Amino acid sequence: MSEGLRWPTWIGIVVEDLDGQRRFWADLLGLPEHEAGSDFVDFDLGSDRRLELVKRSDEPQYDRSRFQVGFEVEDVAKVRGELLRRGVEAIGDVQTDGRSPWAYFRDPEGNVFEIKQRVREGG
């Protein structure tokens, strides 16, 4: 793929017990939380990499407990289009938090992965 998937920007863990997992991973990593909400906790692993705990929900990308990986890409729309042309199953459309767009997919065995475009401060 010409645009290519880069090294993961984050590893996500879909969990049932967010508070219990939050304590476990905080103790294991020895790191403070970077960011948190009612359904996620984010730990900064340095070099702009994250370990994120996400509470299991009915959303297809978070519908069961599992590890997920998110790959950095230059252009989410372009890479998403290429993945769709290759027959990769998309889970919904491109999403954004107002800073960086991302999109979810399934591999041939149903494992979920993400592509994410990093939008850097000031650029």
Please say if the pLDDT value at position 47 is more than 90. Answer: no
Give the model's pLDDT for residue 3: 66
Average the pLDDT over 85-112 and give the result. Answer: 90
Residue closest to 49 by CA, chosen among 32, 79, 26, 72: 72
Give tens-digit pLDDT for 62-76.
998 888 888 989 999
Give tens-digit pLDDT for 99-119.
899 999 988 778 889 999 987
Amino acid at 12: G
Q: What is the pTM of this model?
A: 0.71
Averaged confidence pLDDT in the chain: 88
Please say if the pLDDT value at position 80 is more than 70. Answer: yes
List beta partners, residue 51.
11, 43
Domain ranges of the chain: 8-117
Q: Which CATH superfamily is domain 8-117 in?
A: 2,3-Dihydroxybiphenyl 1,2-Dioxygenase, domain 1 (3.10.180.10)
Using pLDDT thresholds of 50, 70 and 90, give the confidence band for residue 1: very low
- CA-to-CA distance for 114 and 91, rounded, in angstroms? 10
- CA-to-CA distance for 119 and 99, rounded, in angstroms? 6
